[in-house]
Amino acid sequence: MPDGFTAADVDHFVFDAYDGDGIYLLGIGDVFLTRADGAGAALEVVRTGASPLTEFVDDDSSGCSGGIDMGGPGGVPYDCVGGQVAVPR
């Protein structure tokens, strides 16, 4: 990240799948930025807590039927969102 970039500057996270290698996005949990702190590092909290998701990210939507993929973990329907999805902070 550029100098001066802070947790407050993060408004979303982008997940991207390339070349037909789809991913099942199950959720997002705690997220931190690391900062140099002398000879060590410090963590800055971006978000905390778990947010479950059920999205299938795939640039060619293979395995999708009617906008849904049923081949993922847990046998639940996953929304086919294309090759990229942005998840709010």
Instruction: Identify each DSSP E strand in 1-89 by its residue range.
Output: 12-16, 23-28, 31-37, 40-47, 51-57, 68-69, 78-80, 84-88
Structural domain contains residue 29: yes
The predicted pLDDT at position 37 comes to: 85
Structural domain contains residue 1: no
Structural domain contains residue 80: yes
Tell me the whole-structure pTM to 2 decimals: 0.80
Q: Identify the residue whose tokens are 């293979």.
A: 62
The predicted pLDDT at position 7 comes to: 93
For residue 36, name the pLDDT band (cuts at 50, 70, 90). confident
The predicted pLDDT at position 10 comes to: 95
Instruction: Examine the pLDDT at 34 and tell me if it is beyond 80.
Output: yes
Instruction: Examine the pLDDT at 1 and tell me if it is beyond 80.
Output: no
Which residue range is the domain that position 45 belongs to?
7-88
Structural domain contains residue 18: yes
**Under 8 Å between Cβ of 70 and 42:** no
The predicted pLDDT at position 30 comes to: 96
Structural domain contains residue 2: no
Split into its structural domains, the chain has a count of: 1
Structural domain contains residue 30: yes
CA angle, 14 then 78 then 23, to 5°? 45
| Tokens found for residue 39 | 């000879």
